[in-house]
């Protein structure tokens, strides 16, 4: 298969250089400055929206602070916390429209005066200079396009696009040197975890049996799977034959059908009220926190004949770390455990079979319950 992504990225540079040659130095410089300003405004708007989301969360953590706000603003803050990604997107769009129109209204008259004489036909030196400026502008456009692709692969399940990014040398260089250092912290910081020390022990949440292993932070569990959960699991994995295929199918279904329950988060973290729910309730309501995601996945995986584990510990990055729960699935033919986080997968579809070295950077297990497949 040809490397179409590299063709697109290189094409941005070549086409921009050709257009710059046709326009000439002055006209191309004016166009490039305007585009750079638009990209800068978009980046600033995205950063500002991300920061604003933090303030909204602080309001919700301390309800007394919102007492003097209008009712509609309080409802907006609640809705924002329950769907933070959509709230951030709407905030970004609004900020970008306001800032871009305001700044361009100031800058456009100045630019018109500076480039008032740019209408004449460019000479050869002007065209060569325009081609150089166009190549620089094309490189910036290619980087911006790559950034959009990087964010898309972080949040969406796009196997074909992910395969194209892995095959493209220019993209992998940009990903390593630019996108991961600068964009990934924004993508991962808002992944949901409970406040540190707030996780209710999973074994106490529902009716399951857990037998401690002497001298180790592990337990062996026995699951009683509700009929509706078992039927859904078999329906999801129909036609799948290998443990990895079944584990993947269950992961993809859960991250697209179960959403994070911010109301339950607030009830427990802020008010000490734990709204216990079974995997059946999670299936019916389509909502839960990390413990509920992990329990439902364990029930479904166990139904499908998989050996599955629930891990509890700390999740997140420095400065935003909290109690968390996730899963592991054993692959007998490969003699290894696959690391899976469906809670974070519902926010970013990149948390299936994560390499241990990468997974351990954001997950630190403290206790585990293993449910062995029926023989």
Residue 242 has what pLDDT?
A: 94
Partners of 239 in the β-ladder = none
CB of 260 closer than 8 Å to CB of 343: yes
Give per-residue pLDDT as tens, 60-76: 545 555 567 777 777 77
Q: Which domains does the chain have, with CATH numbers?
A: 4-188 (no CATH), 202-371 (3.10.620.30)
Q: Give the C-alpha separation, 113 to 202, whole Å.
A: 68
Partners of 346 in the β-ladder = none
Residue 211 has what pLDDT?
A: 47
Q: Give the C-alpha separation, 149 to 141, whole Å.
A: 12
Residue 210 has what pLDDT?
A: 43
Q: Which 3 state secondary structure label does DSSP give 368?
A: strand
Q: Could you give the residue ranges of the DSSP H alpha helices within the chain?
A: 4-23, 25-61, 71-82, 84-114, 124-155, 159-167, 169-174, 180-182, 184-188, 227-236, 243-257, 262-271, 279-285, 290-303, 342-345, 356-359
If you count DSSP H runs as helices and E runs as strands, how many of each does the chain have, helices first?
A: 16, 8
Residue 331 has what pLDDT?
A: 95
Q: Give the C-alpha separation, 215 to 208, whole Å.
A: 21
Cα torsion through 37, 42, 48, 54, rounded to 10: -160
Q: How far out from the chain centre does Cα 214 lie?
A: 38
Partners of 193 in the β-ladder = none
Structural Rg of the chain based on CA atoms: 25
The count of other CB atoms within 10 Å of the CB of residue 17 is: 21
Q: Which of 116, 144, 114, 129 is nearest to 37 (CA)?
A: 144
CB of 248 closer than 8 Å to CB of 304: no
How many angstroms separate the Cα of 235 from the Cα of each of 228, 240, 248, 305? 11, 10, 14, 14
Q: Give the C-alpha separation, 112 to 250, whole Å.
A: 58
Question: Angle at CA 342, nearest 5°, toward 336 and 347?
Answer: 135
CB of 182 closer than 8 Å to CB of 147: no
Pairing of strands 336-340, 363-371: unpaired
Tens place of pLDDT per residue across the chain (375 aa): 468 999 999 999 999 999 999 988 888 888 888 888 888 898 888 888 877 766 665 565 455 555 677 777 777 766 665 555 666 777 888 888 898 888 888 877 776 666 655 556 778 888 899 899 999 999 999 998 998 888 777 666 566 787 888 889 999 999 889 887 777 656 554 566 655 444 444 545 544 444 444 455 566 767 778 899 999 999 999 999 999 999 999 999 998 888 888 778 777 766 767 777 888 999 999 888 888 999 999 999 999 999 999 998 888 765 557 788 999 999 999 999 999 999 988 877 789 999 998 898 889 888 888 888 865
Q: Which 3 state secondary structure label does DSSP give 211?
A: strand
């Amino acid at each position: 298969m040809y490397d179409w992504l590299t063709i697109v990225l290189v094409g941005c540079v070549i086409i921009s250089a050709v257009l710059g040659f046709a326009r000439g130095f002055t006209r191309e410089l004016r166009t490039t400055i305007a585009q750079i300003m638009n990209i800068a405004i978009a980046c600033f708007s995205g950063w500002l929206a991300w920061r604003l989301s933090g303030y909204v969360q602080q309001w919700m953590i301390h309800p007394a602070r919102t007492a003097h706000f209008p009712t509609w603003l309080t409802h907006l803050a609640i809705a924002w916390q329950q769907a933070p990604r959509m709230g951030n997107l709407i905030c970004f769009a609004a900020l970008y429209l306001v800032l871009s129109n305001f700044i361009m209204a100031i800058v456009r008259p100045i630019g018109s005066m500076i480039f008032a004489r740019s209408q004449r036909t460019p000479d050869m030196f002007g065209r060569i200079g325009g081609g150089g400026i166009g190549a620089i502008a094309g490189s910036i456009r290619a980087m911006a396009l790559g950034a959009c692709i990087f964010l898309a692969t972080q949040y969406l399940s796009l196997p074909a696009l992910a395969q194209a990014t892995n095959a493209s040398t220019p993209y992998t260089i940009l990903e390593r040197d630019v996108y991961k250092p600068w964009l990934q912290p924004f993508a991962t910081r808002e992944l949901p975890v409970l406040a540190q020390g707030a996780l209710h022990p999973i074994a106490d949440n529902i009716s399951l049996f857990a037998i401690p292993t002497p001298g180790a932070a592990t337990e062996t569990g026995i699951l009683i799977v509700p009929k509706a959960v078992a039927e859904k699991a078999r329906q999801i994995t129909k036609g799948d034959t290998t443990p990895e295929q079944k584990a993947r199918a269950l992961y993809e279904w859960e991250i697209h059908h179960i959403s994070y329950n911010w109301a339950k988060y607030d009830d427990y973290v802020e008010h000490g009220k734990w709204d216990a729910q079974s995997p059946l309730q999670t299936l019916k309501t389509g909502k839960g926190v990390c413990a509920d995601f992990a329990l439902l996945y364990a029930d479904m995986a166990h139904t499908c004949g998989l050996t599955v584990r629930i891990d509890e510990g700390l999740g997140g990055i420095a400065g935003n770390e909290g109690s968390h729960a996730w899963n592991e699935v054993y692959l007998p033919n490969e003699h290894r455990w696959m690391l899976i986080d469906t809670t974070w997968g519902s926010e970013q579809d990149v948390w299936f079979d994560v390499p241990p070295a990468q997974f351990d950077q954001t997950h630190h297990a403290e206790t585990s319950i293993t449910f062995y497949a029926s023989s």
